[in-house]
Amino acid sequence: MYFDSEQELNSFLVRLCQISGKQISVFSPIVDGKLPDGSRLQATLARTVTKGSTFTIRKFKEIPLTPIDLIEYQSMSTEMAAYFWMAIEDGASILFCGGTASGKTTALNALMLFIPSSHKIISIEDTREVNIPHKNWIAGTTRKGFAASDESKTGKDIDMFDLIRAALRQRPRVIIVGEVRGKEAYSLFQAMATGHTAYATVHASSIHTLIQRLENPPIELPRALLTSLDMIVFQNAVDIGGKMVRRMTSVTEIIKLDTDTNQLIFMAPYTWVSKTDDRFESAGSSKILNRIKQQNDWTDEQLIQELNNRIVVLEWIRKKKVKSYKKFGKIIADYKKFPERVLELALRELEE
């Protein structure tokens, strides 16, 4: 796109912001908005904040990706998808971590298709990105009050903290937060501690930086509260053969807090093998899967069999080339109700 003059660019920028329901001016030269098609808009005006006016539009897929897409893109393995399926169905709370444009929200949205269809879900975001087929889903977004200012809150602002507090009064089974970055994190972790399942994204590149971010201002979580979280998924954009691709570089479970050393103990059930980029290494053990085994009074063999059954179903869905997130969600819901019937159909059609 080319503009003949700065005035033409500025006029275009003003129109673009108006389309997103925002106003940009020399008094308010930075705008974050959302275009009618759901794309994110970031705009800066004139030389107030940069060398000239700029705008960035981040487009999102109209049709959300499914776990099968993530398998096809080699972001994760089929076994990992089956593991996530069991963990999410059991109510494990997960943080998706990584840098900007690493695929955190894409991975979160895809894996949310494993949430049982009967659960009440509330999502909370600055800009709507989460898109799931669940009928009992309430989507909340923040809003800046028209008369609000930095110095005084007029009561018309609706931020993440407000939405999480309101969500907890609606008795949800699951809370999804687009991005955790402020005081709302405390309420979210308290919700986990009281039995709610929660999913969110956080900007962090490692366990160390994640803990630092959660324990320091503006979040300031006590370390003991971090044990309310079950799993941390690190999603990264990596260079493979000169091409940027997205990989789940590690899946980490929080085991416990060592009271003697005040250190968190972790386990990594799955790790991406960067040297070959063709497989994910399994640790062979998982606290979450062991919990599921105990809850169902299974033997080790029965647990492995259930994991393998779900791998079969996922491979069947992959073979059928199911791309619709709604169709994928229906198969997952059918498996929960009639596992033997769905597995039998999957095995029969895979053999054809």
What CATH number should be reported for the domain holding residue 24? 3.30.450.90
In a domain, 318, yes or no: yes
| Rounded Cα distance, 192 and 228, in Å | 6
Instruction: Decide if 292 is inside a domain.
Output: no
| Residue 1, pLDDT score | 82
The gap between the terminal CA atoms of the chain, to the nearest Å, is 51
Can you tell me the distance from the alpha carbon of 136 to that of 134, in angstroms, rounded to the nearest whole number? 6
Same domain flag for 104 and 51: no
- pLDDT, residue 149, reads 45
Is 241 inside any structural domain? yes
My answer on whether 154 and 100 are in the same domain is yes
Give the torsion through C-alpha atoms of 178, 126, 163, 329, to 10 deg. -40
Residue 86 inside a domain? The answer is: yes
- Which residue ranges in the chain fall short of pLDDT 50? 148-153
State whether 229 and 319 are in the same domain: no
Rounded to whole angstroms, the Cα distance separating 87 from 268 reads 14
- The answer on 95 and 26 residing in a single domain is no
Task: Tell whether 152 and 47 lie within a shared domain.
Answer: no
* Residue pLDDT, tens place only, 108-117: 999 999 999 9
What does the pLDDT read at residue 37? 80
- Which of these, 48, 40, 55, lies nearest to 9 by C-alpha position? 55
- Same-domain pairing of 25 and 129: no
Mark whether 342 and 306 lie in a shared domain. yes
Domain boundary at 254, 287, 320, which? 287
pLDDT at 38: 75
Q: Do residues 118 and 261 share a domain? A: yes
Do 30 and 98 lie in a common domain?
A: no
Q: What CATH number corresponds to the domain at position 245? A: 3.40.50.300
Picking from 58, 80, 97, the residue at the C-terminal end of a domain is 58
Query: Does any domain span residue 181?
Result: yes
Domain range for 337: 300-351
- pLDDT for res 26: 87
Q: pTM, whole model, 2 decimals?
A: 0.89
Indicate whether 295 belongs to any domain: no
Looking at the structure, do residues 170 and 239 belong to the same domain, yes or no?
yes
* CB atoms near residue 233 (< 10 Å): 24
Helix (H, G, I), strand (E, B) or coil at 122: strand
Domain boundary among 33, 58, 83: 58
Count of structural domains within the chain: 3
User: Is residue 41 one of the residues assigned to a domain?
Assistant: yes
Torsional sign, CA 200, 204, 205, 207: negative
- In this structure, the answer to whether residues 126 and 206 fall within a common structural domain is yes
pLDDT at position 61 is 72
Which tens digit of pLDDT belongs to each residue from 138-188?
Answer: 999 988 765 544 444 455 789 999 999 999 999 999 999 999 999 999 999
Question: Within this chain, do residues 268 and 343 fall inside the same structural domain, yes or no?
Answer: no
Q: In this predicted structure, what is the pLDDT of residue 188?
A: 96
